[in-house]
Amino acid sequence: MALVWAHAEYIKFWRSLRDGRFFDQPPPAMERYIFEKTDSPYTIWRFNHKCRTLPAGKTLRLEVLSPTVVHGSMNNWPTVPNTETRDTGLGVYVPDLPTDCLHREAMILFTFYWPEADRWEQVDFCVIVE
């Protein structure tokens, strides 16, 4: 079956070249992402993709694979609210950290408490607002 798929992709490639545009792009997707340039309101942080910066105005979404409590601060630890993750139903747990009121070069510091294992992550993570 892999060869059939590869051959179909090859045919679509040549059709796209002949037409001067992509052959199999749905018009609604083209409208939303190419013409309207719709962007996500989130910057995603994961253990396998630890973003270090966050564009101003975006929400920082942390994605983890088990329930956790995010222990974080947006003012260099004087106040430390805890935020529990919510289950997305896809095997991913997320909290959204509201960062829209932060100024440029503000630091978002956080770590994780894993209640099922009753342990702390033992590492502080940092994301800086651009």
- Residue 26's pLDDT is what? 86
Name the residue among 45, 40, 39 with its Cα closest to residue 108. Answer: 45
pLDDT per residue as tens digits for the range 96-116: 987 878 888 999 999 999 999
Domain of residue 88: give its range.
42-129
How much is the pTM? Answer: 0.74
User: Based on the domain organization, do 11 and 62 belong to the same domain?
Assistant: no
* pLDDT of 75 above 80: no
Question: CB-based burial of residue 16 (10 Å sphere; 0-12 exposed, 13-18 middle, 19+ buried)?
Answer: middle
- Residue 34's pLDDT is what? 83
Residue 81's SS3 state is coil
Q: Report residue 1 CA to chain centroid gap.
A: 33
User: Based on the domain organization, do 47 and 23 belong to the same domain?
Assistant: no
User: Based on the domain organization, do 19 and 67 belong to the same domain?
Assistant: no
User: Based on the domain organization, do 13 and 70 belong to the same domain?
Assistant: no
- pLDDT-based confidence at residue 77 (cuts at 50, 70, 90): low
- Give the integer Cα–Cα distance in Å for 99 and 2: 45
- Residue 2's pLDDT is what? 76
